[in-house]
Protein backbone atom coordinates (compact mmCIF):
# COMPACT_ATOMS: atom_id res chain seq x y z
CA UNK A 1 0.00 0.00 0.00
CA UNK A 2 1.46 3.42 -0.84
CA UNK A 3 1.77 5.69 2.19
CA UNK A 4 -0.34 8.83 2.38
CA UNK A 5 1.06 11.63 0.16
CA UNK A 6 2.28 14.55 2.29
CA UNK A 7 0.54 17.88 1.63
CA UNK A 8 3.80 19.49 0.51
CA UNK A 9 4.26 16.80 -2.19
CA UNK A 10 0.70 17.28 -3.37
CA UNK A 11 1.25 21.03 -3.52
CA UNK A 12 4.52 20.62 -5.43
CA UNK A 13 2.84 18.26 -7.92
CA UNK A 14 -0.02 20.73 -8.35
CA UNK A 15 2.45 23.56 -8.98
CA UNK A 16 4.38 21.49 -11.51
CA UNK A 17 1.17 20.58 -13.33
CA UNK A 18 -0.01 24.17 -13.34
CA UNK A 19 2.72 26.78 -13.49
CA UNK A 20 0.14 29.60 -13.18
CA UNK A 21 0.47 31.61 -9.98
CA UNK A 22 -2.67 31.06 -7.89
CA UNK A 23 -5.07 33.98 -7.92
CA UNK A 24 -6.08 35.56 -4.63
CA UNK A 25 -9.82 35.30 -4.04
CA UNK A 26 -11.68 37.12 -1.32
CA UNK A 27 -14.61 34.84 -0.41
CA UNK A 28 -17.07 36.44 1.98
CA UNK A 29 -19.59 34.34 3.89
CA UNK A 30 -17.03 31.52 3.70
CA UNK A 31 -18.31 29.82 6.86
CA UNK A 32 -21.79 29.64 5.35
CA UNK A 33 -23.36 27.11 3.04
CA UNK A 34 -22.58 28.37 -0.47
CA UNK A 35 -19.45 30.25 0.65
CA UNK A 36 -17.80 27.19 2.19
CA UNK A 37 -18.45 25.08 -0.90
CA UNK A 38 -17.14 27.81 -3.20
CA UNK A 39 -14.03 28.35 -1.07
CA UNK A 40 -13.44 24.59 -0.97
CA UNK A 41 -13.67 24.35 -4.78
CA UNK A 42 -11.21 27.23 -5.20
CA UNK A 43 -8.76 25.62 -2.77
CA UNK A 44 -9.06 22.32 -4.64
CA UNK A 45 -7.93 23.96 -7.85
CA UNK A 46 -4.98 25.50 -6.03
CA UNK A 47 -6.15 29.09 -5.62
CA UNK A 48 -5.43 31.24 -2.58
CA UNK A 49 -8.58 31.92 -0.55
CA UNK A 50 -8.95 34.86 1.79
CA UNK A 51 -12.06 33.87 3.72
CA UNK A 52 -14.18 36.35 5.68
CA UNK A 53 -17.20 35.62 7.85
CA UNK A 54 -18.68 37.33 10.88
CA UNK A 55 -19.93 33.95 12.17
CA UNK A 56 -23.33 35.27 13.14
CA UNK A 57 -25.71 32.99 15.03
CA UNK A 58 -28.53 32.93 12.46
CA UNK A 59 -28.06 29.16 12.63
CA UNK A 60 -25.79 26.69 14.42
CA UNK A 61 -22.31 28.04 14.98
CA UNK A 62 -21.12 24.46 15.27
CA UNK A 63 -22.26 23.96 11.69
CA UNK A 64 -20.29 27.03 10.58
CA UNK A 65 -17.28 25.82 12.56
CA UNK A 66 -17.63 22.47 10.79
CA UNK A 67 -17.61 24.27 7.42
CA UNK A 68 -14.42 26.11 8.36
CA UNK A 69 -12.86 22.85 9.55
CA UNK A 70 -13.55 21.38 6.10
CA UNK A 71 -11.77 24.34 4.50
CA UNK A 72 -8.81 23.98 6.80
CA UNK A 73 -8.55 20.26 6.01
CA UNK A 74 -8.82 21.00 2.29
CA UNK A 75 -6.08 23.62 2.51
CA UNK A 76 -3.87 21.24 4.47
CA UNK A 77 -4.37 18.34 2.04
CA UNK A 78 -3.92 20.38 -1.15
CA UNK A 79 -1.26 22.81 0.06
CA UNK A 80 -3.43 25.70 -1.15
CA UNK A 81 -3.30 28.90 0.88
CA UNK A 82 -6.21 29.76 3.15
CA UNK A 83 -6.60 32.68 5.51
CA UNK A 84 -9.64 33.24 7.64
CA UNK A 85 -10.72 36.61 9.02
CA UNK A 86 -13.59 36.83 11.39
CA UNK A 87 -15.46 40.09 10.98
CA UNK A 88 -18.16 41.96 9.13
CA UNK A 89 -17.92 43.09 5.54
CA UNK A 90 -19.48 46.42 6.45
CA UNK A 91 -16.53 47.10 8.75
CA UNK A 92 -14.62 49.42 6.45
CA UNK A 93 -11.44 49.49 8.54
CA UNK A 94 -11.20 45.73 8.71
CA UNK A 95 -11.92 45.24 5.02
CA UNK A 96 -9.46 47.96 3.99
CA UNK A 97 -6.79 46.19 6.05
CA UNK A 98 -7.56 42.95 4.23
CA UNK A 99 -7.47 44.55 0.77
CA UNK A 100 -4.22 46.31 1.67
CA UNK A 101 -2.37 43.30 3.03
CA UNK A 102 -3.85 40.50 0.93
CA UNK A 103 -3.61 41.94 -2.62
CA UNK A 104 -7.00 40.59 -3.69
CA UNK A 105 -7.39 39.69 -7.39
CA UNK A 106 -11.07 38.70 -7.42
CA UNK A 107 -13.99 39.11 -5.05
CA UNK A 108 -16.66 36.48 -4.48
CA UNK A 109 -19.11 38.22 -2.18
CA UNK A 110 -21.53 35.67 -0.73
CA UNK A 111 -21.96 37.01 2.81
CA UNK A 112 -25.48 38.18 3.60
CA UNK A 113 -28.34 37.87 5.98
CA UNK A 114 -30.21 35.34 3.89
CA UNK A 115 -33.56 34.60 5.55
CA UNK A 116 -36.63 36.13 3.93
CA UNK A 117 -39.06 36.19 6.87
CA UNK A 118 -36.63 37.58 9.49
CA UNK A 119 -35.98 40.49 7.12
CA UNK A 120 -39.57 41.64 7.61
CA UNK A 121 -38.98 41.89 11.38
CA UNK A 122 -35.53 43.42 11.16
CA UNK A 123 -35.10 45.43 7.94
CA UNK A 124 -32.33 47.65 9.37
CA UNK A 125 -30.11 44.68 10.05
CA UNK A 126 -30.59 43.48 6.48
CA UNK A 127 -29.76 46.88 4.99
CA UNK A 128 -26.58 46.94 7.05
CA UNK A 129 -25.44 43.36 6.46
CA UNK A 130 -26.42 43.20 2.81
CA UNK A 131 -26.44 46.67 1.23
CA UNK A 132 -23.87 48.56 3.33
CA UNK A 133 -21.53 45.58 3.27
CA UNK A 134 -21.78 45.30 -0.52
CA UNK A 135 -21.15 49.02 -1.05
CA UNK A 136 -18.13 48.83 1.29
CA UNK A 137 -16.69 46.02 -0.81
CA UNK A 138 -17.52 47.71 -4.13
CA UNK A 139 -15.70 50.85 -2.98
CA UNK A 140 -12.62 48.88 -1.98
CA UNK A 141 -12.77 46.71 -5.11
CA UNK A 142 -12.64 49.76 -7.40
CA UNK A 143 -10.01 51.49 -5.26
CA UNK A 144 -7.73 48.44 -5.27
CA UNK A 145 -8.35 47.60 -8.94
CA UNK A 146 -9.94 44.16 -8.43
CA UNK A 147 -10.43 42.48 -11.82
CA UNK A 148 -13.76 40.75 -11.13
CA UNK A 149 -16.49 41.32 -8.54
CA UNK A 150 -18.95 38.42 -8.33
CA UNK A 151 -21.77 38.65 -5.78
CA UNK A 152 -24.82 36.67 -4.69
CA UNK A 153 -28.21 37.95 -5.73
CA UNK A 154 -31.39 35.91 -5.47
CA UNK A 155 -34.40 34.62 -7.36
CA UNK A 156 -36.41 36.59 -4.80
CA UNK A 157 -35.78 39.75 -6.87
CA UNK A 158 -38.46 38.43 -9.25
CA UNK A 159 -41.11 38.98 -6.56
CA UNK A 160 -44.48 37.77 -7.75
CA UNK A 161 -43.45 37.61 -11.39
CA UNK A 162 -46.27 35.71 -13.10
CA UNK A 163 -44.35 34.98 -16.30
CA UNK A 164 -42.38 31.75 -16.33
CA UNK A 165 -39.61 30.89 -16.68
CA UNK A 166 -38.01 33.92 -14.99
CA UNK A 167 -35.57 35.61 -17.36
CA UNK A 168 -32.95 38.19 -16.42
CA UNK A 169 -34.74 40.73 -18.63
CA UNK A 170 -38.00 40.39 -16.64
CA UNK A 171 -39.05 43.25 -14.36
CA UNK A 172 -37.59 43.10 -10.88
CA UNK A 173 -38.85 46.35 -9.42
CA UNK A 174 -41.57 44.94 -7.15
CA UNK A 175 -39.83 42.95 -4.38
CA UNK A 176 -42.07 41.40 -1.73
CA UNK A 177 -39.66 41.41 1.23
CA UNK A 178 -36.89 43.64 2.60
CA UNK A 179 -34.48 40.78 1.87
CA UNK A 180 -35.41 40.82 -1.82
CA UNK A 181 -35.15 44.62 -1.84
CA UNK A 182 -31.61 44.45 -0.43
CA UNK A 183 -30.60 41.98 -3.13
CA UNK A 184 -32.03 44.21 -5.86
CA UNK A 185 -30.26 47.20 -4.28
CA UNK A 186 -26.96 45.34 -4.49
CA UNK A 187 -27.54 44.68 -8.19
CA UNK A 188 -28.20 48.40 -8.74
CA UNK A 189 -25.10 49.46 -6.80
CA UNK A 190 -22.95 46.96 -8.72
CA UNK A 191 -24.28 48.31 -12.03
CA UNK A 192 -23.52 51.85 -10.82
CA UNK A 193 -19.90 50.97 -9.97
CA UNK A 194 -19.53 49.30 -13.32
CA UNK A 195 -20.86 52.40 -15.08
CA UNK A 196 -18.83 54.92 -13.08
CA UNK A 197 -15.53 53.08 -12.70
CA UNK A 198 -15.60 50.21 -15.19
CA UNK A 199 -15.47 47.67 -12.34
CA UNK A 200 -16.45 44.27 -13.83
CA UNK A 201 -19.39 42.95 -11.79
CA UNK A 202 -21.49 39.78 -12.05
CA UNK A 203 -24.59 39.19 -9.92
CA UNK A 204 -25.81 35.61 -9.57
CA UNK A 205 -29.50 35.05 -8.88
CA UNK A 206 -29.53 31.76 -7.01
CA UNK A 207 -32.69 29.64 -7.00
CA UNK A 208 -33.31 27.64 -3.74
CA UNK A 209 -29.93 26.02 -3.20
CA UNK A 210 -29.71 22.74 -1.26
CA UNK A 211 -27.19 20.01 -0.52
CA UNK A 212 -24.68 18.89 2.12
CA UNK A 213 -23.92 21.66 4.67
CA UNK A 214 -27.23 23.29 3.63
CA UNK A 215 -29.02 25.96 5.63
CA UNK A 216 -31.18 24.55 8.43
CA UNK A 217 -33.83 27.27 7.93
CA UNK A 218 -34.60 26.12 4.39
CA UNK A 219 -37.29 23.62 3.38
CA UNK A 220 -35.00 20.83 2.05
CA UNK A 221 -33.16 20.69 5.39
CA UNK A 222 -36.19 21.32 7.62
CA UNK A 223 -38.36 18.71 5.93
CA UNK A 224 -35.67 16.01 6.03
CA UNK A 225 -34.91 16.80 9.67
CA UNK A 226 -38.54 16.68 10.76
CA UNK A 227 -39.58 13.68 8.67
CA UNK A 228 -36.51 11.69 9.77
CA UNK A 229 -37.29 12.50 13.43
CA UNK A 230 -40.98 11.64 13.09
CA UNK A 231 -42.06 15.25 13.66
CA UNK A 232 -44.88 16.90 11.69
CA UNK A 233 -44.11 19.31 8.85
CA UNK A 234 -46.14 22.38 8.00
CA UNK A 235 -47.47 22.12 4.48
CA UNK A 236 -48.64 25.48 3.19
CA UNK A 237 -51.35 25.39 0.53
CA UNK A 238 -52.46 22.38 -1.48
CA UNK A 239 -48.94 21.28 -2.45
CA UNK A 240 -49.12 22.53 -6.03
CA UNK A 241 -46.70 25.44 -5.46
CA UNK A 242 -43.44 24.82 -7.32
CA UNK A 243 -39.80 25.58 -6.64
CA UNK A 244 -36.72 25.41 -8.78
CA UNK A 245 -34.33 23.59 -6.41
CA UNK A 246 -30.64 23.79 -7.32
CA UNK A 247 -27.99 21.41 -6.05
CA UNK A 248 -24.94 23.02 -4.49
CA UNK A 249 -22.38 21.44 -6.87
CA UNK A 250 -24.22 22.95 -9.84
CA UNK A 251 -24.28 26.35 -8.14
CA UNK A 252 -20.55 26.19 -7.38
CA UNK A 253 -19.83 25.36 -11.03
CA UNK A 254 -21.78 28.51 -11.98
CA UNK A 255 -19.98 30.67 -9.40
CA UNK A 256 -16.56 29.49 -10.61
CA UNK A 257 -17.54 30.10 -14.23
CA UNK A 258 -18.55 33.66 -13.31
CA UNK A 259 -15.30 34.23 -11.37
CA UNK A 260 -13.33 32.96 -14.36
CA UNK A 261 -14.97 35.27 -16.88
CA UNK A 262 -14.77 38.94 -15.92
CA UNK A 263 -16.76 40.98 -18.40
CA UNK A 264 -16.62 44.69 -19.06
CA UNK A 265 -20.35 45.32 -18.68
CA UNK A 266 -22.27 44.69 -15.44
CA UNK A 267 -23.99 41.33 -15.77
CA UNK A 268 -26.65 39.40 -13.89
CA UNK A 269 -27.32 35.68 -14.40
CA UNK A 270 -29.87 33.17 -13.13
CA UNK A 271 -28.35 30.11 -11.52
CA UNK A 272 -31.17 27.61 -11.07
CA UNK A 273 -32.01 24.10 -12.17
CA UNK A 274 -34.81 24.99 -14.58
CA UNK A 275 -36.75 21.94 -13.42
CA UNK A 276 -39.51 22.92 -11.07
CA UNK A 277 -40.73 20.50 -8.43
CA UNK A 278 -44.13 20.78 -6.74
CA UNK A 279 -44.32 20.72 -2.96
CA UNK A 280 -46.21 17.40 -3.14
CA UNK A 281 -43.50 15.84 -5.35
CA UNK A 282 -40.81 17.21 -3.07
CA UNK A 283 -42.35 15.70 0.06
CA UNK A 284 -42.83 12.35 -1.72
CA UNK A 285 -39.16 12.30 -2.79
CA UNK A 286 -38.02 12.94 0.78
CA UNK A 287 -40.34 10.22 2.15
CA UNK A 288 -38.78 7.76 -0.27
CA UNK A 289 -35.18 8.77 0.54
CA UNK A 290 -35.65 8.94 4.32
CA UNK A 291 -37.81 5.80 4.33
CA UNK A 292 -40.53 7.37 6.47
CA UNK A 293 -43.99 8.88 5.84
CA UNK A 294 -44.35 12.59 6.54
CA UNK A 295 -46.81 13.70 9.22
CA UNK A 296 -48.50 16.69 7.58
CA UNK A 297 -49.78 19.79 9.33
CA UNK A 298 -52.03 21.29 6.67
CA UNK A 299 -51.74 25.10 6.64
CA UNK A 300 -53.31 27.82 4.46
CA UNK A 301 -51.25 29.54 1.76
CA UNK A 302 -48.63 31.85 3.26
CA UNK A 303 -49.10 35.52 2.48
CA UNK A 304 -46.17 36.75 0.36
CA UNK A 305 -45.18 33.28 -0.85
CA UNK A 306 -44.85 33.00 -4.61
CA UNK A 307 -46.67 30.13 -6.37
CA UNK A 308 -43.68 29.20 -8.53
CA UNK A 309 -39.99 29.90 -9.10
CA UNK A 310 -38.53 28.76 -12.37
CA UNK A 311 -35.19 29.86 -13.84
CA UNK A 312 -34.65 30.58 -17.50
CA UNK A 313 -31.03 29.50 -17.97
CA UNK A 314 -30.58 30.58 -21.59
CA UNK A 315 -28.26 33.48 -20.73
CA UNK A 316 -26.20 31.66 -18.08
CA UNK A 317 -25.80 28.73 -20.42
CA UNK A 318 -24.68 30.92 -23.33
CA UNK A 319 -22.39 33.26 -21.37
CA UNK A 320 -21.06 31.01 -18.60
CA UNK A 321 -21.54 27.53 -20.05
CA UNK A 322 -23.73 26.84 -16.99
CA UNK A 323 -25.55 23.51 -17.28
CA UNK A 324 -26.88 22.00 -14.04
CA UNK A 325 -26.94 18.22 -14.03
CA UNK A 326 -28.30 17.11 -10.64
CA UNK A 327 -31.87 15.84 -10.34
CA UNK A 328 -33.81 16.53 -7.16
CA UNK A 329 -33.71 12.84 -6.15
CA UNK A 330 -29.94 12.51 -6.66
CA UNK A 331 -29.30 15.80 -4.90
CA UNK A 332 -31.56 15.00 -1.95
CA UNK A 333 -29.93 11.56 -1.62
CA UNK A 334 -26.54 13.29 -1.30
CA UNK A 335 -27.98 15.73 1.19
CA UNK A 336 -29.47 12.93 3.26
CA UNK A 337 -26.15 11.04 3.27
CA UNK A 338 -24.52 14.13 4.82
CA UNK A 339 -27.44 14.70 7.19
CA UNK A 340 -27.30 11.12 8.48
CA UNK A 341 -23.57 11.27 9.21
CA UNK A 342 -21.74 14.58 9.53
CA UNK A 343 -24.76 16.59 10.56
CA UNK A 344 -25.50 14.18 13.42
CA UNK A 345 -22.13 15.10 14.93
CA UNK A 346 -22.91 18.81 14.59
CA UNK A 347 -26.30 18.21 16.21
CA UNK A 348 -24.69 16.38 19.12
CA UNK A 349 -22.42 19.37 19.70
CA UNK A 350 -25.43 21.70 19.51
CA UNK A 351 -27.26 19.65 22.12
CA UNK A 352 -24.29 19.18 24.46
CA UNK A 353 -24.45 21.19 27.68
CA UNK A 354 -22.50 24.44 27.35
CA UNK A 355 -19.15 24.07 29.07
CA UNK A 356 -17.64 27.00 30.97
CA UNK A 357 -15.47 29.17 28.71
CA UNK A 358 -11.82 28.19 28.66
CA UNK A 359 -9.27 30.82 29.70
CA UNK A 360 -8.12 33.09 26.90
CA UNK A 361 -4.95 32.04 25.09
CA UNK A 362 -3.68 35.58 24.71
CA UNK A 363 -4.90 39.12 25.00
CA UNK A 364 -6.08 38.98 21.38
CA UNK A 365 -7.94 35.73 21.78
CA UNK A 366 -9.92 37.10 24.66
CA UNK A 367 -11.57 39.39 22.12
CA UNK A 368 -13.07 36.31 20.51
CA UNK A 369 -15.24 35.59 23.54
CA UNK A 370 -18.24 34.00 21.85
CA UNK A 371 -20.70 31.42 23.14
CA UNK A 372 -19.42 28.53 21.08
CA UNK A 373 -16.68 26.02 20.78
CA UNK A 374 -14.81 27.66 17.97
CA UNK A 375 -11.13 27.53 17.36
CA UNK A 376 -10.94 28.94 13.87
CA UNK A 377 -11.29 32.53 15.01
CA UNK A 378 -8.11 32.18 17.00
CA UNK A 379 -6.47 32.26 13.58
CA UNK A 380 -3.59 30.07 14.74
CA UNK A 381 -5.43 27.03 13.39
CA UNK A 382 -5.84 28.74 10.04
CA UNK A 383 -2.29 29.91 9.87
CA UNK A 384 -1.22 26.27 9.94
CA UNK A 385 -2.29 26.22 6.29
CA UNK A 386 -0.77 29.57 5.54
CA UNK A 387 2.67 30.39 4.19
CA UNK A 388 3.05 33.49 6.35
CA UNK A 389 1.60 32.72 9.75
CA UNK A 390 2.13 36.13 11.28
CA UNK A 391 -0.01 38.29 9.11
CA UNK A 392 -3.35 36.51 9.35
CA UNK A 393 -2.98 36.19 13.11
CA UNK A 394 -2.48 39.91 13.46
CA UNK A 395 -5.19 40.76 10.98
CA UNK A 396 -7.67 38.30 12.42
CA UNK A 397 -7.02 39.82 15.80
CA UNK A 398 -7.97 43.17 14.31
CA UNK A 399 -11.14 41.56 13.01
CA UNK A 400 -11.92 40.24 16.44
CA UNK A 401 -11.33 43.51 18.14
CA UNK A 402 -13.53 45.21 15.60
CA UNK A 403 -16.36 42.75 16.02
CA UNK A 404 -16.22 42.42 19.79
Ligand X SMILES: NC(=O)c1ccc[n+]([C@@H]2O[C@H](COP(=O)([O-])OP(=O)(O)OC[C@H]3O[C@@H](n4cnc5c(N)ncnc54)[C@H](O)[C@@H]3O)[C@@H](O)[C@H]2O)c1
Q: Please give the residue ranges that form the binding site for ligand X (CB under 6 A).
A: 28-29, 31-35, 52-56, 58, 64, 88-90, 110-114, 129, 133, 152, 154, 206, 208-209, 215
Cα 69 from Cα 39, distance rounded (Å): 12
The nearer residue to ligand X, 22 or 178, going by C-beta atoms, is 178
Q: Which residues partner with 82 through β-bridges?
A: 49
The nearest distance, CB 259 to ligand X, in angstroms, is 14
- The residue nearest ligand X at its CB is 32
Look up 197 and say whether it is catalytic: no
CA distances from 154 to 16, 210, 350 (A): 39, 14, 29
Query: 305 phi and psi, to 5 degrees?
Result: -75, 145
The nearer residue to ligand X, 56 or 380, going by C-beta atoms, is 56
Alpha helix positions (H), 59-209: 61-78, 92-102, 117-121, 123-126, 133-143, 178-197
The nearest distance, CB 162 to ligand X, in angstroms, is 20
The nearest distance, CB 271 to ligand X, in angstroms, is 9
The nearer residue to ligand X, 79 or 108, going by C-beta atoms, is 108
Catalytic site residue from 158, 179, 245, 322: 179
The nearer residue to ligand X, 79 or 378, going by C-beta atoms, is 378
CA distances from 20 to 17, 46, 275 (A): 9, 10, 38
The nearest distance, CB 20 to ligand X, in angstroms, is 28
Strand 209-210 relative to strand 246-247, pairing: parallel
The nearest distance, CB 113 to ligand X, in angstroms, is 5
Strand 277-278 relative to strand 242-243, pairing: antiparallel
The nearer residue to ligand X, 22 or 213, going by C-beta atoms, is 213
Handedness of CA 304, 310, 314, 315 (dihedral sign): positive
Secondary structure percentages of the chain, helix, strand, coil, to 5:
50, 15, 40
Instruction: Check if the beta carbon of residue 289 is closer than 8 Å to that of residue 329.
Output: yes
DSSP category for residue 295: P
Just list the catalytic residues: 179
Amino acid sequence: MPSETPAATVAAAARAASPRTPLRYLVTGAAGFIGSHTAEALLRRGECVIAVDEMNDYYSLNQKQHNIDVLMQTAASTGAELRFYRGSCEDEELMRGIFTSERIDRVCHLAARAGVRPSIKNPHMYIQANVTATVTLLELAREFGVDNFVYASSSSVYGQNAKVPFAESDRTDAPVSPYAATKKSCELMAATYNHLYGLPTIGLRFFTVYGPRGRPDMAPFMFVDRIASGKPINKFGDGSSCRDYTFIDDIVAGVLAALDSPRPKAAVFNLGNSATVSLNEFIAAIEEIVGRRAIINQMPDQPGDVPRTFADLTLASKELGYRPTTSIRDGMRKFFAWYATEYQQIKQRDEAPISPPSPPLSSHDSDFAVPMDISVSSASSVSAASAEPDRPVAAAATAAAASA
